[in-house]
Structure 1
Amino acid sequence: MKHELVLVLDFGGQYNQLIARRVRECGVYCEVKPYTTPLSELKAMNPIGIIFTGGPNSVYLNTSPQVDPEIFTWGIPILGICYGCQLMAHSLGGLVTPAQEDTAREYGKTTTYYDTSCKLFAGLPAEGISWMSHGDYMAKVPQGFALVGHTEMCPNAAIADESRGFYGVQYHPEVNHTEHGVAMIRNFLYEACHAKGDWTMGDYCKSAIAAVREKVGDGKVLLALSGGVDSSVAAALLAEAVGKQLTCVFVDHGLMRLNEGDEVEAAFSKWDINFVRVDAETRFLLKLAGESDPETKRKIIGEEFIRVFEEESKKIGAVDFLAQGTIYPDVIESGAGDAETIKSHHNVGGLPDFVDFKDIIEPLRMLFKDEVRQLGRELGLPEYLVSRQPFPGPGLAIRIIGDITKEKADTLRLADFIFREEIAKAGEDKNLNQYFAVLTNTRSVGVMGDGRTYDYTLALRAVTTADFMTADWARIPYDVLDKISVRIVNEVPGINRIVYDITSKPPATIEWE
C-alpha cells in the first residue's frame, strides 16, 4: 500500500526526529531527509507537504544550510519551524538579521498570540505558551506573507502565505512545552496539505508482511534475535510472513543481563519457529579484549555478530537473507550522508563492508520505538514482551566504560540486577521507560569495615520518555535510591561508590556509550 507522504527536511536541529514522530501521531506517514538530498529525489517521492526543521545556524551566513528555491515552485504546502521559518523568509525575499540586544531574541516558554483565522491555528485558543529558541530576527517578511502570530518581543512569531500554502513559526510546535503544538501540526497536515490520514499500524502490518513475502519468495531467512522488543516484533512479523523459512538465532555474547540468556530461550522455545542459541561469550570477549573506544566496541560486536550468523547459516544450509530488528532511531543516530553520527548502532553503522548474504531484511527500519510496540500488539505478542524496556544489541559492552573483562561484566550484571529488582519492588518500574546501571572506569577511595578500598564507581541511569528521541531523567524517590545503593555496595564486590545520572536527552543520550 502506498501511503501519503510528508517530508521532513533536516537542517540540523535537536528536535528534528520529534517532528517526524508528531506527524505520524497525526496519522500521516513521513520520512526525514537531509537538506542536501537532491531535489529530483525529493520530488520523485511525491510528498503532499514538506516541513523545514530548526537548526543551529544563521541563514544569512554563506556557510549555512540552504535550499534550492525551486522547491517553492512545486505547489506543495511547506511549514518552516524556527531556522526553517527564517530560511523560508530568506529564500523568498525577506530579511533575517541578528536580533538586537533585549529585542526579538527569545528562549524558553513564551506567551504567544495567534490569528485563529489562519488555517494553522483554526479551532485553537488565540493565546498560549510556545517554546522559543532563536537568536535571529525576521526584520522583513517576504511579499505575500501575513503576520499570524506574535509575542510581546517579536511581532512575527508566525507568518503565512495561505495562497501558496507556506507557513512559518519561530517557535517549536513539536515539543511538549508548546501548548496545542501538535494540534498546529495536525492543522498543517489536514487543513493545508489536505491529508487523509492513511498511516495506521494495521495497514503497515499487512503491507510489511506482503513486502517480506515478495522479497523472500521461497528463500530462507536468518533473524538475529536478541530477545528485546525490536527483534521479538521482527520475529513475529517474519514468522507470519514466511513461517518455517525463518530461523531465529540468539547469540549469547556473554554481555547479557543476569539470567537473560535462559529467559530468552525459555520465551521463544514456546514459539513454532526454528530457534538456535549460540554460546559465544569467549569469542566476543577475546575480540573485545583491551578495547576501550565505544565506537570501536560497537563495530567489533557488529562484525562478530555477522560472522556468527554466517557460520550458523552454513549449518542450516543455503540461507539467503539476514534479518534484523533495526528501527528508525538506530538509522538516524548512526548517520547517513552528511548527517552527523551520534553513535553507530551495531546493526546499522557497525556492519562490516562484506556480508555473506544475498540481502539484509529490516522490516522495522522506518518505525519509531512506540510504533514497534503497536505493531507487536497487532501481531498478537504478549504485553510483557511488547512493553519490555530496551536493551542495546551490544549489551553490557556499552555499559562498561573502558576495556571489557568477564570480571567487569559479572560485576555489572549483579549490580544491574539489584537496581532493577529494587525498582520493581518499589513499584517504580511502572513510572520508568528505561533504567540500568553503568560500570564507570573511575575508581575512588572508600572505607569498608576498618579498611581502605579503592574500587569502581557505579552510575545508575533512569529516564522517562514517550519516543526515546528525547528523554527526561527520572525522579526516583531518595529512599529507593538509598536501598539500591546500600545493597549494591554490600553485595557486589569491587564497587564502593554509587552516583545517579540527572542528565536529560538532549544534551545526553540515554545510553552512556
Structure 2
Amino acid sequence: MDSSTIVILDFGAQYTQLIARRVREFNVFSVVLPCTASLESIRAQNPIGIILSGGPSSVYDADAPKADPAVLKFGLPTLGICYGMQFMAHHLGGKVTPADKREYGDAVVDVKKTNKLFAGLPAKLDVWMSHGDSVVELPAGFVIAGETHNAISSIADEKRNMYAVQWHPEVAHSKQGTELLKNFVLNICGAKADWTPAHFITSTVEAIKKQVGDGHAICALSGGVDSAVAAVLVSRAIGDRLTCIFVNNGVLRKNEFEQVQNNMRKKLGLKVVAVDASKRFLSQLGGITDPETKRKIIGREFITVFDDEAARILADQEKNGELQHDAAGNEIAWLVQGTLYPDVIESSSVKGPSQTIKSHHNVGGLPENMKLKLIEPLRDLFKDEVRRVGRDLGMPEEVLERQPFPGPGLAVRIVGEITPERVEILQNADDIVVSEIKKAGLYKQIWQSFAVLLPVKSVGVMGDQRTYAYTCAVRAVHSDDGMTADWVPLPYEVLKTISSRIVNEVRGINRVVYDITSKPPGTIEWE
C-alpha cells in the first residue's frame, strides 16, 4: 500500500469500524488491528499516525484489553479516543479513576486550550460521551485541552503530537467530530488524500497481475455485489484466464439462475460456467427442518459441486497446456473470493471469538487438496466502498445496488421443511415483494426486503370458499453493515398492494403479516 496509512488499534469498541470509515471518507487509507498486535505488525503498515479506539473496559480491569505501551513511543502522531485516552494517560504516568458521575449521551465540552486538533472548531463542542472512568491526573508534558462540567474531556502534548478526547468523534451525535478527525488525519498526520476508487483499482489490478502472472483463476460467483466486483477486478487483470462458477442450489430467487448468467456474461463480459445442481441440493434438504442443518448441508454440497467443477476446469486447462507449475511440478491456480474488511476485522477479535449465532455459508471451507491459492481483492474494503469501486469499473447499477442475499438462499427464508413446492411458493411471493418495493422507488433506500414462508396454515375465505393455506411474512430493514438493523415503516399503500397481490396471485398463501422486529433482538433472516 503506497498511500498514507492510519493504524487504528481496537480495544473492543463497538465503534471501531466507524472510526476506520470516517478516516476513509477523507480518501485516506485506514487499517484496524487488534490492540494486541505486535509492534512489528504495526510498523509493517508504515503508518503516519495511530488512533487508539474506545472500549468497554477500565484500564485497571484484570481482563482489560492491553496494547504494548511501547506503541506510545513510536514518535508518530497519536489520537486516543475514550478508553484510548485513558490508556494513554495511564501508561504515560497519569492517573485514571472511576468517575463520580458517569457520562453517557450528549454533552458540551468547553475548549480550554486550542491546538491543532481543535483548529477551526468552536469554543464549545457538542459531543457524545460513553465512559465510566475519568483522567484525574495528567502525564508529564500534557495540558488540559477541554472539560465538561463533570470531568477532563481532552488532553494534549503538542510537542509529541499526542492528543486525546474522552468523547466519540466518530459518531454522528458528535457534531464537530468529522472536522476534528480531519484535523488529526490531514493536518496533524499530514496524510495525502489519494486513496480513491481509481487509485484502488489501478494498484489492485497491478498487484493481481504480478501475483497471478500467467496463471489461471477460478471465482465462486453468487451474482451479488461482492463476488461480481471481485470478479471484474480480477478479469481486468488477467482477462479470460478467469473462469467464474455459478451454482444453482435450488433455492435461488425466481428466474435468478438465468438473470445472473445474463448479467455476468453480457453486461460484465465474464466467462461463466453455470451449474444447475438444484435437484441435488433439494434431495439433500428433503425432510430437514433444523436451520443449522440446512446451512451446513448447503455449504457442504456447494463445496462438493464447486470442487468437482474446479477440478474439471483445471483438468481441461492442464490437458491444453494452459496451466503453470511450480518447481515441484504442482499446478498453480487461484481462487477468487469476495471477502470484505468487516469479515477480516471480526476474525481478529480483541477478546476472542464471539458466540456463534448462526454459521455463515462461504467458500472458505474449500478442501485444501484443490491446491488453489487465495485472491481476496476486496479484503480492505467496506460494502459502500465496494460499490464505489464497482461504479468506477463501469459496472451497471442493477448489479451494484442489488440487496444482500444470504448464501443459503431461500432455504433460510423457508421456515420448516424445504420442498420444491414450497420453494416455488416463496419465489413467487418474494418476487412480488421486491417488484412492488422497486415500483414504489424504495429498493435502493432499503438494506434488505424479502418474503418469508412460515410453516403455519390458517383458514381463509376466497370466492366464498374456505381455504387453508400458508402464512407469508414480509420483512424490510434498514442497516449500514448488517450487524444491527431497524425495521422499515413501509407505506401502508405499499403493504396493502403487496398483501393483495400475494394472496391473489400466489397459490398456497392466504395470509400476509409484516415483521416489525429490529436486530437485536431478532436477526435479519428468520433462520
Given the two structures, how large is their TM-score scaled by the length of structure 2?
0.86
**More off after superposition, 398-407 vs 158-167:** 398-407
The superposition leaves residues 398-456 of structure 1 with CA deviations (integer Å, 9 ceiling, x where unpaired) of 33455544444333322222211221222222432432234456x47665468585844
Q: Secondary structure at the match of 1:360?
A: strand
Partner residue, 1:32 = 32
Which of 215, 221, 227 is 1:219 aligned to? 215
Partner residue, 1:282 = 279
Q: Secondary structure at the match of 2:107?
A: strand
Partner residue, 1:10 = 10
Partner residue, 1:382 = 396
In the alignment, does 2:369 pair up with 1:372? no
**Do the aligned partners of 1:116 and 1:123 also contact (CA within 8 Å) in 2?**
no
In the alignment, does 2:344 pair up with 1:331? yes
Measured at CA, do residues 29 and 343 of structure 1 come closer, stay the same or move farther in structure 2, by a change above 3 Å? farther
Q: CA deviation at 1:485?
A: 3.2
**Do the aligned partners of 2:244 and 2:273 also contact (CA within 8 Å) in 1?**
yes
Distance (whole Å) between structure 1 residues aligned to residue 158 and residue 511 of structure 2: 63
Report the residue type matching 1:256 in the other structure: L
Partner residue, 1:462 = 477
Partner residue, 1:196 = 192
Partner residue, 1:483 = 497
Output the aligned Cα RMSD. Answer: 2.9
Q: Secondary structure at the match of 1:137?
A: strand
Measured at CA, do residues 68 and 444 of structure 1 come closer, stay the same or move farther in structure 2, by a change above 3 Å? farther
Partner residue, 1:139 = 136
Which of 97, 103, 108 is 1:106 aligned to? 103
Distance (whole Å) between structure 2 residues aligned to residue 265 and residue 93 of structure 1: 62
Partner residue, 1:427 = 441
Q: Secondary structure at the match of 1:412?
A: helix
Q: CA deviation at 1:74?
A: 0.9
Partner residue, 2:322 = none
Q: CA deviation at 1:82?
A: 1.9
The superposition leaves residues 88-143 of structure 1 with CA deviations (integer Å, 9 ceiling, x where unpaired) of 2222233333333xx2x122222333357222221122334222222223233333
Aligned residues: 505
Distance (whole Å) between structure 2 residues aligned to residue 453 and residue 98 of structure 1: 62
Distance (whole Å) between structure 1 residues aligned to residue 467 and residue 348 of structure 2: 46
Matches within 5 A, 1:76-155: 76-100=76-100, 103=101, 105-115=102-112, 117-152=114-149, 154-155=150-151
Measured at CA, do residues 198 and 97 of structure 1 come closer, stay the same or move farther in structure 2, by a change above 3 Å? same
**Do the aligned partners of 2:460 and 2:510 also contact (CA within 8 Å) in 1?**
no
Partner residue, 2:377 = 363
Task: Could you tell me which runs of 5 or more consecutive residues in structure 1 were left unpaired when the two chains were aligned.
Answer: none
Distance (whole Å) between structure 2 residues aligned to residue 13 and residue 292 of structure 1: 37
Q: CA deviation at 1:72?
A: 0.9
Measured at CA, do residues 121 and 334 of structure 1 come closer, stay the same or move farther in structure 2, by a change above 3 Å? same
Distance (whole Å) between structure 1 residues aligned to residue 113 and residue 485 of structure 2: 32
In the alignment, does 2:153 pair up with 1:157? yes
Report the residue type matching 2:476 in the other structure: R
In the alignment, does 2:307 pair up with 1:310? yes
Which of 329, 334, 348 is 1:321 aligned to? 334
Partner residue, 1:245 = 241
Partner residue, 1:257 = 253
Measured at CA, do residues 372 and 99 of structure 1 come closer, stay the same or move farther in structure 2, by a change above 3 Å? same
Report the residue type matching 1:241 in the other structure: A
**Do the aligned partners of 2:433 and 2:474 also contact (CA within 8 Å) in 1?**
no
Distance (whole Å) between structure 2 residues aligned to residue 411 and residue 47 of structure 1: 54
Distance (whole Å) between structure 1 residues aligned to residue 222 and residue 372 of structure 2: 22
**Do the aligned partners of 2:220 and 2:245 also contact (CA within 8 Å) in 1?**
yes
In the alignment, does 2:265 pair up with 1:269? yes
Measured at CA, do residues 46 and 460 of structure 1 come closer, stay the same or move farther in structure 2, by a change above 3 Å? same
Measured at CA, do residues 95 and 478 of structure 1 come closer, stay the same or move farther in structure 2, by a change above 3 Å? farther
Measured at CA, do residues 9 and 401 of structure 1 come closer, stay the same or move farther in structure 2, by a change above 3 Å? farther
Matches within 5 A, 1:57-72: 57-72=57-72
**More off after superposition, 112-121 vs 263-272:** 112-121
Measured at CA, do residues 49 and 498 of structure 1 come closer, stay the same or move farther in structure 2, by a change above 3 Å? same
**More off after superposition, 110-119 vs 45-54:** 110-119
Distance (whole Å) between structure 2 residues aligned to residue 343 and residue 164 of structure 1: 46
Distance (whole Å) between structure 2 residues aligned to residue 96 and residue 290 of structure 1: 59
Q: Secondary structure at the match of 1:135?
A: strand
Distance (whole Å) between structure 1 residues aligned to residue 285 and residue 56 of structure 2: 37
Report the residue type matching 1:328 in the other structure: Y
**More off after superposition, 43-52 vs 208-217:** 43-52
Matches within 5 A, 1:227-238: 227-238=223-234
Q: Secondary structure at the match of 2:152?
A: coil
The structure with the larger Rg is 2
**Do the aligned partners of 1:333 and 1:343 also contact (CA within 8 Å) in 2?**
no
Distance (whole Å) between structure 1 residues aligned to residue 475 and residue 117 of structure 2: 43
Measured at CA, do residues 408 and 203 of structure 1 come closer, stay the same or move farther in structure 2, by a change above 3 Å? same
Distance (whole Å) between structure 2 residues aligned to residue 294 and residue 75 of structure 1: 52
**Do the aligned partners of 2:13 and 2:56 also contact (CA within 8 Å) in 1?**
yes
Report the residue type matching 2:232 in the other structure: A
Measured at CA, do residues 304 and 89 of structure 1 come closer, stay the same or move farther in structure 2, by a change above 3 Å? farther
Q: Secondary structure at the match of 2:159?
A: coil
**Do the aligned partners of 1:292 and 1:404 also contact (CA within 8 Å) in 2?**
yes
**More off after superposition, 369-378 vs 133-142:** 133-142
Measured at CA, do residues 215 and 440 of structure 1 come closer, stay the same or move farther in structure 2, by a change above 3 Å? farther
Distance (whole Å) between structure 2 residues aligned to residue 292 and residue 19 of structure 1: 41
Q: CA deviation at 1:20?
A: 0.9
The superposition leaves residues 284-305 of structure 1 with CA deviations (integer Å, 9 ceiling, x where unpaired) of 3344455566566545434433
**Do the aligned partners of 1:129 and 1:178 also contact (CA within 8 Å) in 2?**
yes
The superposition leaves residues 321-363 of structure 1 with CA deviations (integer Å, 9 ceiling, x where unpaired) of 1212222223334566834367654336x52453513302111
Partner residue, 2:511 = 496
Q: Secondary structure at the match of 1:317?
A: helix
Measured at CA, do residues 494 and 242 of structure 1 come closer, stay the same or move farther in structure 2, by a change above 3 Å? same
Measured at CA, do residues 332 and 121 of structure 1 come closer, stay the same or move farther in structure 2, by a change above 3 Å? same
Distance (whole Å) between structure 2 residues aligned to residue 352 and residue 64 of structure 1: 36
